Amino acid sequence: MTSKTKTRTRAKTASGPSKEEALRMYTQMVRIRTFEDNANQLYLSGKMQGLTHMYSGEEAVAVGICEALTDSDRITSTHRGHGHCVAKGANYKEMFCELLGKQEGYCRGKGGSMHIADQNHGNLGANAIVGGSMGIATGSALRAKLLGQDDVTVCFFGDGATAQGLLYEVMNMAALWKLPVIFACENNGYSEYTKTEEIAAGSITARAEAFGIEAFQVDGQDVLGVNELSKKLVARCRDGDGPFFLELLTYRYHGHHVGDINREYYRSKKEEADWKENRDPIIRFRAWLVEQGIAEESEIDALNAQIKQDAKEAVAYAEAAAYPGVEEVDMHVYAETDPATLRAGK
Amino acid sequence: MREITLSQAVNEALVEEMRRDPTTFIIGEDVAEAGTPFKVLSGLVEEFGTSRVIDTPISEPGFVGIGVGAALTGARPIVDLMFGDFIYLVMDQLCNQAAKQHYMSGGKLSVPMVLRTNLGATRRSGAQHSQSLQALVAHIPGIKVALPSSAYEAKGLMKTAIRDNNPVVIIEDKLMYQDKAPVPEEEYLIPFGEANIKREGSDITLVATSSMVQVAEAAASILEKEGISAEVIDPRTIVPLDEKTLIESVKKTSRAIVIDEGHQNYGITGEIASRLNEKAFYYLDAPVLRMGAMDVPVPFSPVLEDLTVPTPEGVAENARRLCAGEMIHAA
Ligand SMILES: Cc1ncc(C[n+]2csc(CCOP(=O)(O)OP(=O)(O)O)c2C)c(N)n1
Ligand SMILES: [Mg+2]
């Protein structure tokens, strides 16, 4: 880490969240964890086809950042995208429907887990090409600047994606043009089955600093710290002070994807247990809520139970929901263009 | 009617559309003060400023991706790719990102983006600045592909491309930038999926795209002197393709040659020929022939390079033999 990089490890409570904000952050983290537990179950029980990547363990990253955004702010997401989707405001029902390929899914079942997005809340899509959305996020920010709109775009990507050349092309342009984009690198220590240190030479934040982009390394298991910093950077982006770069140190609890069960050849059970027991973002934040007198244990238990119930109902709904009709297969290949706009004089 | 160059026609289309729609902008390498190496964009930055005529670093995947993101969120970017050969560099952004957003989102997102680039050999530019790669993009569902064959088409198709709500790749013939053609002063647009019958004929149909339209017309003139009446049709857009006009022509003439400057193997010519075989088989008196560029990297040496592209004489010779009832192979 270079001297310019700012390291954030502890949340400051002075400018901390209101009670509502804190409870909402907790709720959103539990909603992600619960969504993933159900998605994993759907896969393991053979009810869901394909492959899917669990966000469990990384909740504080998506929630800390997305709670600093408004509905008109945009995000781009990754193959590990359920967490971003929930955090940006999506509903369980449409999400489970999408995972099961049902017509009521956010993408009418045509996207699936790896392309899931609630477009109405500014989610420009999960992307199954590692690093594939970096240009999209930067272009969204260029559009905001060009059209005089004050929204900010956050580009989520993994440590593995820092090896894609596209990142360096768009960081260069984002810095040259001072675009309102935040590059949020979720460093969960692994790129598929390979440790980050084996694929990334030097420091990750230094990559951004080379372009003159202010970069921060953050404890990605601390939702308050992530949120506090994100709020500041989002505000500075709106003031024309962007772009920024965040490296969020985090951990995925499951395998790379749901089928990655026997993984001791690349990651020890001891390491997994350490992150789950000692650094879990939900356990940590729950303790903070109680300590601060924001919520009592019993209230939190009730909240957790309610979310479990919501998920159960949404899963049941999605299982019973209809598949798209066969006539949908060649719909939406091309967008309609109003013929009136194609006339001269219009 | 006044005559202007293809370069001026493109420039006029861009000026008109950028005046009409403040969400449009141009992005690419040396597009602003330089107006591109072909000088097609001269004067635009003076009118629209550097915020709407944006010079980029040499980062093709980066600025095409930026175009996709801007288009997804409410702008209408016109992305300038200096040479068609650079399409290879931007395949992911174009084919995995731009082309699929509408479908993958169940119709909720769309990418109204134009990618303008060029094609064409015989400019002595070597193997990496001479290719005609329309088949690569035409293969991908979700992208429309327009191939203007003169200044008139260049203007009318560009205006439609900018207003279309999909990614449109529009490929100009870089050898034609200084060629003049009649272009009306008043505004017009050319709809996608409407072929243009450039010349009517009764003995054989020559379906030709872009640079090859001139070649087909010259071949038709040669054939006319020999008493063979060739119909020349320019599809103008290959996606969508106006099959109906092509099929009707072939039903009338019962013979066809398809000519395109892309490589012949697995190319545009094969696709169109195959559709004619499938849909007009009983009307055909001879196999539909393909004439594409030779399947070699484009050589530098002028004597070699000129051999790689279909010529009027080559087209006329194939047409002659088809009309004589010889079951031949394309040159
Ligand atoms: C361009 C590309 N290459 C390879 C893959 C296969 N792949 C999917 S996820 C992944 C690892 C990504 O690692 P990282 O960016 O750290 O994200 P994480 O999975 O850890 O969240 C790989 C190699 C892909 N989807 N796209
Ligand atoms: Mg990773």
What single letter denotes the amino acid at residue B316?
A
pLDDT for A3 beyond 80: no
Q: For residue A127, which residues of chain B lie inside 8 Å, CB to CB?
A: 97
Q: Which atom of ligand 1 is nearest to the CA of A159?
A: 16
A267 CA from centroid of ligand 2 (Å): 13
**What are B297's two structure tokens?**
């990297």
Query: In this predicted model, what pLDDT tens digit does every residue of A141-174 receive, in sequence order?
Result: 999 999 999 999 999 999 999 999 999 999 999 9
Nearest CA to A162 out of A139, A134, A140 is that of A134
Q: What is this model's ipTM? A: 0.96
For residue range B87-122, list pLDDT tens digits in order: 999 999 999 999 999 999 999 999 999 999 999 999
Task: Please provide the CATH number assigned to the domain covering B3-182.
Answer: 3.40.50.970
The more confidently predicted of residues B327 and B15 is B15
A198 φ/ψ angles, rounded to the nearest 5 degrees: -85, -15
Whether the per-residue pLDDT at B235 is higher than 70: the answer is yes
| Minimum-distance CB partner of A143 among B70, B96, B141 | B70
Element (H, E) at A284: helix A281-291
Six-digit token string for B266: 């697995």
A190 lines ligand 1 (CB under 6 A): yes
Residue pLDDT, tens place only, B280-329? 999 999 999 999 999 999 999 999 999 999 999 999 999 999 999 986 65
Q: Which of A139, A333, A335 sits opposite B69 (nearest CB)?
A: A139
Q: What is the pLDDT of residue B329?
A: 59
A79 C-beta closer than 6 A to ligand 1: yes
Which residues are close to ligand 2, an ion, with C-beta < 5 A? A 158-160, 188, 190
Residue A136: enclosing H or E segment and its boundaries? helix A134-146
* A80 within ligand 1 shell (Cβ under 6 A): yes
Rounded Cα distance between B192 and B238, Å, is 9
Question: In this structure, what token pair is assigned to residue A285?
Answer: 């934040």
> How confident is the model at residue B328, as a pLDDT?
65
Ligand 1, residue A257: give the atom nearest the CA: 19
Mind telling me how many Å the CA of B105 is from chain A's nearest CA?
Answer: 4
pTM check: above 0.90? yes
**Chain B residues within an 8 Å CB radius of A172:** 57, 59, 62
DSSP state of A123: B
Residue B260: pLDDT band with limits 50, 70, 90: very high
Among residues B174, A97, B193, B78, the alpha carbon closest in space to that of A106 is found at A97
Percent of chain A, pLDDT > 70? 96
Kindly tell me if the per-residue pLDDT of B278 is higher than 60: yes
Chain A closest CA to B282's CA: distance in Å? 29
pLDDT over threshold 90, residue B2 = yes
Helix (H, G, I), strand (E, B) or coil at A173: helix
Binding site membership of A74 for ligand 1 (Cβ less than 6 Å): no
As a whole number of angstroms, the distance between CA A22 and CA A48 comes to 33
Supply the pLDDT for residue A11: 44
Tokens of B197: 């019958």
Closest chain B residue by Cα to residue A109:
B106
Provide the terminal-to-terminal Cα distance of chain B, rounded to the nearest Å: 38
Substitution target from A94, A143, A178, A183 for chain B, most B beta carbons within 10 A: A143
pLDDT at B136: 98
What would the pLDDT profile of A235-275 be if each residue is shown by its tens digit?
999 999 999 999 999 999 999 999 999 999 999 999 999 99
Answer yes or no: is the C-beta of A158 below 6 A from any ligand 1 atom: yes
Give per-residue burial for B21-52: e unless 16+ CB within 10 Å, then b. Answer: eebbbbbbbebbeebbebebbeebbeebeeeb
- Residues B290, B278 contacting (CB under 8 angstroms): no
Overall residue count recorded for chain A in this entry = 346
What digits encode the pLDDT tens for the residues B130-174?
999 999 999 999 999 999 999 999 999 999 999 999 999 999 999
pLDDT tens per residue across span B21-68: 999 999 999 999 999 999 999 999 999 999 999 999 999 999 999 999
CA A57–ligand 1 middle distance (angstroms): 17
B129 is catalytic: yes
Mean pLDDT of chain B: 97
Rounded Cα distance between A104 and A182, Å, is 32
Residue A4 pLDDT exceeds 60? no
Q: How close is the Cα of A131 to the center of ligand 1, in Å?
A: 8
Domains B3-182 and B196-323 share a fold: yes
Dist CA A77 CA A61 (whole Å): 12
Q: Given CATH 3.20.20.70, say whether it is the number of domain B196-323.
A: no
- Residue B255, pLDDT > 60, answer yes
In angstroms, what is the span from residue A162 Cα to ligand 1's centroid?
10
What are the pLDDT digits (tens) for A292-306? 999 999 999 999 999
Map B218-284 to HEC letters: HHHHHHHHCCCCEEEEECCEEECCCHHHHHHHHHHHCCEEEEEEEECCCCHHHHHHHHHHHHHHHHC
Question: To the nearest whole angstrom, how far is the Cα of B97 from the nearest Cα of chain A?
Answer: 7
**Is residue A160 within 6 Å of ligand 1 at its C-beta?**
yes
Across the range A209-222, mean pLDDT stands at 98
Does the structure show a pLDDT above 60 at B20? Answer: yes
Catalytic site residue B263?
A: no
Question: What are the residues whose beta carbons fall under 8 Å from the beta carbon of A29, sequence distance 6 or more?
Answer: A59, A60, A63, A223, A281, A282, A285
**Residue A219: Cβ-neighbour burial (10 angstroms; 0-12, 13-18, 19+):** buried
Mutate to test the pocket of ligand 1, among A36, A191, A194, A249 (most ligand atoms within 8 A of CB): A191
B58, B103, B145, B241: best to mutate for the A interface, most A CBs within 10 A: B103
A210 touches A261 (CB < 8 A): no
Q: A284 to chain B nearest CA, in Å?
A: 36
- B72:A343 CB<8 A: no
Tell the burial category of B292 from Cβ atoms under 10 Å away from its Cβ (0-12, 13-18, 19+): buried
pLDDT at position B331, please? 47
Token digits of residue A112: 């699936």
Residue A84 Cβ contacting ligand 1 at under 6 Å: no
Structural domains of chain A sorted by starting position, each given as residue range(s) with its CATH number in brackets: 16-343 (3.40.50.970)
d(CA A153, CA A168): 17
* Nearest chain B Cα distance for residue A110, angstroms: 5
pLDDT in tens, B162-219: 999 999 999 999 999 999 999 999 999 999 999 999 999 999 999 999 999 999 999 9
Atom 5 (ligand 1): residue with closest C-alpha?
A130
Cβ A143–B56 below 8 Å, yes or no? Answer: no
For residue A105, the SS3 value is: coil
User: Chain A contacts of B54, Cβ < 8 Å?
Assistant: 177
Residue in A166, A336, A342 closest to B191 by CB: A342
**Where are chain B's structural domains?**
3-182, 196-323
Residue A346: its pLDDT value, please?
A: 79
Span A322-337, average pLDDT? 98
Q: Give the pLDDT confidence score for residue B132 in this predicted structure.
A: 98
- d(CA B189, CA B158) in angstroms, rounded, equals 8
Q: Which of B17, B102, B129, B263 is catalytic?
A: B129
The confidence score (pLDDT) of residue A16 equals: 81
Determine the pLDDT at residue A5.
54
CB contact under 8 A, B163 and A341: yes
Distance between CA A139 and CA B29 in Å, rounded? 16
Other beta carbons within 10 angstroms of residue A322's beta carbon come to 10
